[in-house]
Structure 1
Amino acid sequence: MRDGGRHPERLKTVATGIMLAADQNGAKSFRKAHEHVKGHSDYHSLKIVKVQVGSSEEARTLVRLYACVDQSATTVIEADGTPTNAKHAKNRWPSIYSITGTTGDQKLLVSNVQQKAGTC
C-alpha cells in the first residue's frame, strides 16, 4: 500500500473473490488512517505445489504455491510521517496462495492466501 490505499480498483487485475475483498478492505484501512508503506515485500522462497489446468475454455485453472513472504524491508508510515512497525510482528511467514482463472481468460488471479503456522 505504497500509495496509501488509493485506487483500490487496480486490485481487480491481480485478485478475485475473498482475496479481492480482503485487499480492498486493507486499502480502505490505509486510506482512513492516512498511512502508507515504504520499502518492498519479497518472497524468500517459492514452490509450486499443484497445477490443475482446465480442459476447455470455461474450465477453471488452479495453481497452488507455497511462498515464504518476507516483509523485513517494509515500514508502515503513519499520517504524521512517523515510521511504525510492531516489534512483535513477524518479518517472514509461510503462506499457501491459490491462484485461479479460466483457460479462455488466459490470466490468473489470486483467489485465496492461507498463512501457515511456523517460520520459513
Structure 2
Amino acid sequence: MVRYPVLLALAAGLAACAAPQKVGAPPRTAVPARSTTLNVKGLEAVLGKSARDLERMFGQPRLDVREFDARKLQFAGSACVLDAFLYPEGSGGAQIVTYIDARRSDGQSVDRAACVEALRK
C-alpha cells in the first residue's frame, strides 16, 4: 500500500516536466546547433559549405536524401564513406554542412579529416 503514494508522486513530478502543447499548433522541429567540430583541422574544407561546393570537391554524391529542410549527401570511395549533413543557416537561409560522419565500407569508424582528404578529387 505504501507504493501507491510514491508512484503518484513520481508520476506528478514527471508530468510537471512535460512542456504544454497548444492544440492545433504545428509540431516543433529541432534546429541543430552549429557544429562544434568547426575547429577540427581538416574539416574546415567541408563544414559550412554548400552542396554545390561538396560536389565540386568530391564529385557526384552516391546518395542525396532530403527530409523537410535537411539534406544528407553521401560520398564514397575505396578508402571510406563520408556523410555530410546540411541544414539551413538561420531562418530560410541556404543549406550548409553542419556535421560530417565517416566510416569504412565495413562500418568501422574512420578519422573524418583523413576521409575528406582521401575523397578529394
Structure-2-length-normalised TM-score: 0.37
User: As a proportion of its length, which structure holds more strand?
Assistant: 1
Structure-1-length-normalised TM-score: 0.38
Higher relative contact order (CA 8 A, sep 6+): 1
